[in-house]
């Protein structure tokens, strides 16, 4: 789904995404709590990856920057609105899905108190290095009727926990 970037384009894209993410994270630190900051970071990363799919050269760098900032703003709003129960349900469902759910099968969570809900769909399994197991996934979170999507890869750590890459 994502293009493969090569050479200087990778370096430029990473620099632009890092700069935009730092701006977004700095702005998130000015207000809001831990949830909002986490949402901002996740949104910034997803937005930067999405922006990297458009254009070439300078145009692609601009798209990465715009995607990162938009993703940060949207992710910050979602993170601000999620409570501890939402995060617990999402984390439990994600852990179970990455460990047990077959490829392309969607697992769901719902908080009956807040009305927030989400899904996670594990995709491909990879082993980038011997003994390191990873899964690509697609995730949605719906807060206040607004649904946000994320794509990513999580790798199992030696303690059995999954870490987003």
pLDDT > 50? residue 1: no
37 or 57, which is more confident:
57
pLDDT average, residue stretch 16-42 = 52
Rounded Cα–Cα distance for residues 89 and 85 (Å)? 6
144 falls in which pLDDT band (50, 70, 90)?
A: confident
Give the three-class secondary structure for 90.
Answer: helix
30 falls in which pLDDT band (50, 70, 90)?
A: very low
Query: What are 110-143's pLDDT values in tens digits?
Result: 999 999 999 999 999 999 999 899 999 999 999 8
Query: Where exactly are the structural domains of the chain?
Result: 7-81, 84-164
For 81, other C-beta atoms within 10 Å of its C-beta total 17
pLDDT at 10: 52
């Amino acid at each position: 789904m994502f293009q493969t970037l090569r050479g200087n384009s990778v370096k430029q894209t990473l620099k632009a995404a890092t700069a935009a993410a730092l701006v977004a994270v700095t702005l998130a630190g000015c207000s809001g709590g831990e949830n909002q900051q986490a949402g901002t970071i996740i949104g910034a990363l997803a937005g930067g990856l999405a922006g990297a799919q458009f254009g070439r050269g300078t145009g692609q760098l601009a798209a990465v920057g715009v995607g990162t900032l938009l993703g940060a703003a949207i992710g910050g709003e979602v993170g601000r609105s999620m409570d501890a129960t939402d995060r617990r349900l999402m984390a439990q469902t994600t852990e179970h899905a990455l460990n047990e759910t077959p490829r392309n099968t969607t697992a769901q969570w719902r908080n009956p108190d807040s009305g927030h809900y989400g899904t996670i769909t594990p995709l491909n399994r990879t082993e980038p290095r011997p003994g390191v197991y990873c899964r690509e996934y697609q995730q949605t979170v719906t807060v206040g009727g607004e649904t946000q999507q994320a794509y990513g890869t999580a790798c199992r750590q030696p303690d059995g926990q999954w870490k987003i890459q």
